[in-house]
Chain A
Amino acid sequence: MKHYKDSNNNLFGFEENAVIPSGLTEITMDEVKAINNVKAQAAYEALSYAEKRAQAYPSIPDQLDTIYHEGIDAWKATIAAVKQEYPKP
């Protein structure tokens, strides 16, 4: 399998014996990963504060575990830390 990119950094993979469309440049797997990481980071930055918070909050089982073992105040502190990291604009 060989990997290629076009002028917009769209990525393609073709078998060794495939006919490669014009306009594509062959790249290494490391370059593919680097492009994907840049895209992933850009996609993450484009998320709203609420979406970032939703991903950052501990899971419900973990939150319940915190409440059971450490109490409501500890749970509030956990949630507040996420809200502070991704403030409402």
Chain B
Amino acid sequence: MSKVTIQGDASGTGIFTIASPNSNTDRTLVLPDEAGTVLTSVSSITSTQLTGDAIPIGVGQTWTDVLGSRATGTTYTNSTGRPIMVAVTAGEATYSYCRGWVDGVTITEQQSRDSATSTSQAGVIFIVPAGSTYQVTVSVNGNSSDFDAWFELR
């Protein structure tokens, strides 16, 4: 049988108390089979210590150029297991239009009118939850679907 020891500090004088809540139900707290310290509400946690769903978007992910493998008007599925961010820029033209969809719902859209001397372009950026579908619709001069950039933080 393993043993449990509660050990006080030889120099300290404070009294540490293990207290129970007001309950009539028996409970057992099982200690983890590893060394460490107790996590409290003021403990510092770095993003690299988080796992699973607790990992925030951007940690361990990089902006990836997927221009060559994406097409406008096409439904893609975020199968990475984590949220991703999508950033698309429509082709440069007199008139360009860009719309982002997640799970069939328009999340964001922008249209741009260029002058002969400017280079503004329509573009959208949005987050796609894990498992969701997403799509970007691009219209350039009303009759084409070119886009200049498609990056994903994944």
Contact = CB atoms under 8 A, between A and B. Distances in A.
Given A40-B139, A59-B94, A59-B115, A29 B71 contact: yes
B142 interface: yes
Given A36-B72, A59-B113, A14 B144 contact: no
B144 A37 contact: yes
A60 B94 CA distance: 12
A18 B142 contact: no
A7 interface: no
B71 A32 contact: yes
A43 B74 CA distance: 16
A86 to B, nearest CB: 11
Contact of A47 (B75, B114, B142, B144): B142
B145 A37 contact: yes
Given A1-B66, A15-B79, A39 B73 contact: yes
B113 A43 contact: no
Interface residues of A, number: 28
A13 B139 contact: no
Residue from the set A12, A37, A40 with the largest chain B CB neighbour count within 10 Å? A40
What size tier do the contact residues of chain B reach?
20 to 34
B54 interface: no
Contacts of A37: 144-145
Contacts of A36: 71-74, 145
A50 B113 CA distance: 16
Contacts of B116: 58-59, 62, 65
B74 A59 contact: no
Contacts of A83: none
Interface string A8-24: 00111111001000000
Interface string B20-32: 0000000000000
22 contacts: A1-B66, A1-B70, A11-B75, A13-B74, A13-B76, A14-B79, A15-B77, A18-B77, A29-B69, A36-B71, A36-B74, A37-B145, A41-B143, A44-B139, A44-B142, A44-B143, A47-B142, A52-B142, A55-B95, A59-B94, A59-B114, A59-B116
- Enumerate the 3 nearest inter-chain pairs by beta-carbon distance, A residue then B residue, closest first: A11-B74, A1-B69, A59-B115
Interface of B: 66, 68-77, 79, 94-95, 113-118, 139, 141-145
